[in-house]
Amino acid sequence: MKYGFFDDANREYVITDPKTPFPWINYLGNHDFFSLVSNTAGGYSFYKDAKFRRLNRYRYNNVPMDNGGRYFYINDGENIWSPGWKPVKTPLDHYECRHGLSYTTIKGQKADIEAEVTFFVPLNAWAEVQKMKLTNKGKTEKTFKLFSYNEWCLWNAEDDQNNLQRNLSTGEVEIDGATLYHKTEYKERRNHYAFYHLNQEIDGYDTDRESFIGLYNEFSNPRAVLDGKPSNSEAHGWSPIASHYKEITLAPGESTDLIFILGYIENEEEEKWESKGVINKTKAKALIDQYNTVEKVDAALKELADYWTELLSVITLNHADDKLNRMVNIWNQYQCMVTFNMSRSASFFEVGIGRGMGFRDSNQDLIGFVHQVPERARERIIDIASTQFPDGGCYHQYQPLTKRGNDAIGGGFNDDPMWLILGTVSYIKESGDFSILDEMVPFDNDPSLAQTLFDHLTISFNHVINNLGPNGLPLIGRADWNDCLNLNCFSKDPNESFQTTENNTEGSKAESVMIAGLFVVYGTDYVALCQELGKTEEAERAQNCVDAMKEAVKQFGWDGEWFLRAYDFYGNKVGSDENEEGKIFIESQGWCSMAEIGLEEGMVEKALDSVKERLDTPYGIVLNNPAFTEYKIEYGEISTYPAGYKENAGIFCHNNPWIMIGETKLGRGNQAWEYFKQICPAYLEDIHDLHKVEPYVYCQMIAGKDAYKPGEGKNSWLSGTAAWNFYTVVQHILGVSPEYKGLKVDPCIPNEWDTYSINRKFRGGEYAITISNPDKVSKGVAKLIVNGEVIEGNIIPDLGEGNHKVEVIMGTTSLVDSASAEAVVAE
C-alpha cells in the first residue's frame, strides 16, 4: 500500500494516510534550535542539546506509538478532532502532511472546517513557529473551540524521566496574556526559560497537565476539550504544560490565521529578573515581535526556502532517471545536512539522552555535507579534533552543548583517529583552505596542550602504527567501526554495556583487518597531503608505513577467497572460512577493496565476488554470513542479536557503499549501480508496508536474509548511510570529486547509460559538466574538454570565478584528436 508520494517540484514528500507503517518524521532547524515532527505532529524541540535543553516531553517506545507533540484540538459541538489525526484519531474527511526542507505542513478537514498548520524553525531563531490557517469550507457559519497543547520537559530529558520525587514539585510557570512561560528552575542555576505564545487574545488557558487532561484521561480525550472550556489553571509543581483556548466563528468561505511561537530564551545573570520573582521577558517579546504576523512568518518561510535552494544548488544532477535526480538533488543532500546537525543524538530511534556527537560519526557525516557550507564543516573539524588525546586516541563522543568529551563513553575505539584525516582532507579538497592545518587545536580541550591541526593528523596516523598486533595489523581496542564486535570484552553480566565496560586489552592479540584497510585508504590521503605541503620526508615515512600495512594484509589478512575480518583475543581468525559462523564480513571486503590491496593479484576481484555470492540479498548486502546462532563471548555483542538483525547479519546500510566503491575500483559500474538501488529509498516505494520507515531517507538497518521479516527497515534518518551514499553516487558512480588542483572526473556507471549532466559550484566557479557515453562503457574518460580546450588527464582545473563548460566523453581510447575538439564542442 502507498501512503504518499514525492512532489519533486516542491521538494516535498506528501503523506496522504496518517496511519503510516511507522511514524514518518521530519527535522526543523539548522543551527542551534531543532525540532522533530512526525506526520501526525508528534515530537519535540530542543536548544543545541537534546539531553540538556529539551523543551517538550515525548514518550518513546510507547503504546500507542508517537505520543506527545504539538497538538491542536477542535471541538465544534459535534466532533472533537485534531488536524494531524493524532492524538484524538477521529476519522478525518481529508488529511495531508507535506514534509519539506526544514518545514512540515499538516492539513486536516472535518465537517467543513479545515485546519492547516505549518511548522518550521526560522533561520537563526531559537523558536519553532506554527502558522495555523482555519477555513470554513461549508455553506453555513461555523463556531468552534480551539485548544493548543504543549507539555514542558524539565530541561534535562534524562532527569525529567527519573527524578520524579524532585521534579513533581519543581514546575513553575508565568502567564502574561497569550504568552505562557515555563520557568522551572530558573530562579536557581538556570539562565534560560521557554514560552508558548499565540498572536491573538485568548479566551482562556491551562498550564497544569492534570487540570487540562484529567488524571485518568489521555491525550486523545482531554477533559478540558471534552468539557469545552479550560480551567485557567496555574501549575505549581506536578507537570507544567501550555494550552491556549480560543473561541472562533467563521462565515462560509472565511479564513483566519493564528501564529503560535514556541521559544527559548537565555538571560545574563544580572538581567534575569524584571522584578522579584518575575522573569525578564525583554528578549522573549523581541523574539515574538519577529514572527507575530502572517507577513513576517511568510517572509521567514521564504528566507528558509531560499536558503535551501542555495544549499542544494552546489551539486545538481540532470539524469533520465527521475528517482536518481530526486535523491541526489533533494533528499540525500537534505538528510546529510540533518545528520551533520544531529550526529546520532536525536531521532525516533535515538532518544537524545545517551549519545552526543560522535568523533567517527561526525567526520564521516562531513563528507556528505562539506560542499554545502564549508565554513561549518571547518568549525566541526576543530571541535572534533579538540577532543583528541595527546597519544592520538580520542573521546568517542562529545556533548554539543559543552563540546567536551563524553566521559561516560570514553575512548579506545581504535578506528576513530583515522577518520580525522578523512574529514580534514575532504574539507581542504572542497574549499582549497589549507590554513586550517595551521590552526592551534587543543588536546582534551586543554589549551595548554594545543598543537596545529596538521600535528593532530600526524598523531592520528601514528596512533595506528603505535598500536599494532603480532601480525603487524592494527589492534582493535574496544572496537573498530563495528562497535558490536567486542573482541576484548568477555562480558557475562547482562547489566554491563559491551562498549563501555572495561576491556581486557592487555596481552590481547585482537587485530582489525578493517582498520588496516582504513589506514591504507586514509594513510594514502595523508601521504598525498604531505606531498602537497612539500613535507617530502614525512610523506616518505608515511608511505613506508602504508606499504608495510598492505603487505601485512596480504600475508595475514587474506583467507583465500576474501579478506579476514579480524583476529580475536587469542589470535584466532575472525571472518574466515575456517569459522563455523561469521565466515565472511562486509567491512574488510569494502575497505581492503577501496584500498586496492592485492588488486594486481586478483584479491579485490575475488573478495567482491565473494560478497556477491555470500552477502548479497534483494534488499542490500548483509554484514556477515552465516549469522551467529549462539552467544560467542569472545565476539561480544554482535552475537547477541537474533540472526538477520543489526550487526548479526543484518543489512547495515552504512557499509553497503564501501562495496559499491570497491566495485568502481574494478570498473564494474553495473554492479555498483545495482547495489546502490537496492537500499536507495526512492527505489523502494513498492514495499512501504514491509520497509516501514520513511520512504525519503536512508535507514541504518534493514533486516537481512536470516531475519523473520527480511527487508524491514529500522533506525532511520541519523545514519552514516546518508553521507556515504551521497559521496559514493556523486564521486564514484557519477564520478565528479573535488581534488586539491580541481575537480576530478572519473565515472563508473552502468554501460547502458547514454548521457547525464552535473552542475557543480566549486571555489567560486560554476562548472556545467556533461558526460557522454557513446561507446557504452562503464569506466574510462577518453576526452576532457574545458571551455573548448582539450585537457590532458581527467582533472578539471580550478578556474576560479565564472561559468565554465565541460564536456566529458567516456571511452577506452581517445575519440577525437585535439584538432577536432572545437567541432565536438560545437556539436
User: Burial letters for 305-340: b for 16+ Cβ neighbours within 10 Å, e otherwise?
Assistant: beebeebbebbbbebeeebbbbbbbbbbbbbbbbbb
Identify how many contiguous H helices and E strands the chain contains and give both numbers: 21, 44
109 beta partners: 94, 114
CA dist 708 and 711 (Å) reads 10
Whole-angstrom CA distances from 814 to 788, 797, 808, 821 are 16, 20, 11, 11
How many whole angstroms separate alpha carbon 5 and alpha carbon 28? 20
Written as one letter, the residue type at 430 is E
Q: Measured between alpha carbons, how far is 288 from 463 in angstroms, rounded to an integer?
A: 51
* Among 48, 88, 42, residue whose Cα is nearest residue 68: 42
Measure the CA–CA gap between 87 and 72, rounded to whole angstroms.
9
In whole angstroms, give the CA distance from residue 645 to residue 159: 31
Question: DSSP 3-state assignment of 611?
Answer: helix
SS3 5: strand
Distance CA 521, CA 542 (A): 12
Cis ω before 64 (30° cut-off from 0) = yes
Q: Tell me the one-letter amino acid at 375.
A: E
The closest of 271, 284, 345, 267 to 52, measured between CA atoms, is: 345
CA 537 to chain centroid, in Å, comes to 39
Q: Helix 586-594 crosses helix 513-532 at what angle (to 10 degrees)?
A: 20
Q: How many CA atoms lie within 13 A of 249 on its CB side?
A: 2
Closest C-alpha among 785, 802, 796 to residue 740 = 796
DSSP 92: P
Which residues make beta-bridge pairs with 558? 563
Reduced to 3 states (helix: H, G, I; strand: E, B; else coil), residue 735 is coil
Task: Quote the cell numbers at residue 712.
Answer: 524491514
CA dist 582 and 364 (Å) reads 26
CB of 515 closer than 8 Å to CB of 463: no
Residue 62, C-alpha cell as written in the block: 510507547
**Known active-site residue 547:** no
**DSSP per-residue string spanning 272-308:** SEEETTEE--HHHHHHHHHSSSHHHHHHHHHHHHHHH
Using alpha carbons, list the distances in angstroms from residue 726 to 16, 191, 244, 327, 680: 28, 40, 44, 9, 10
What does the alpha-carbon distance between residue 478 and residue 412 come to, in Å, rounded to a whole number? 5
Please identify which of the residues 415, 483, 525, 616 carries the catalytic annotation.
483
Helix (H) or strand (E) holding 584: strand 584-585
Cell numbers given for 217: 484521561
Cβ atoms 205, 230 nearer than 8 A: yes
75 φ, ψ to 5°?
A: -120, 110
Region of residue 487 (left: phi > 0; alpha: psi -120 to 50; beta: else): alpha
Q: Which helix (H) or strand (E) holds 270?
A: none
Which residues belong to the active site?
483
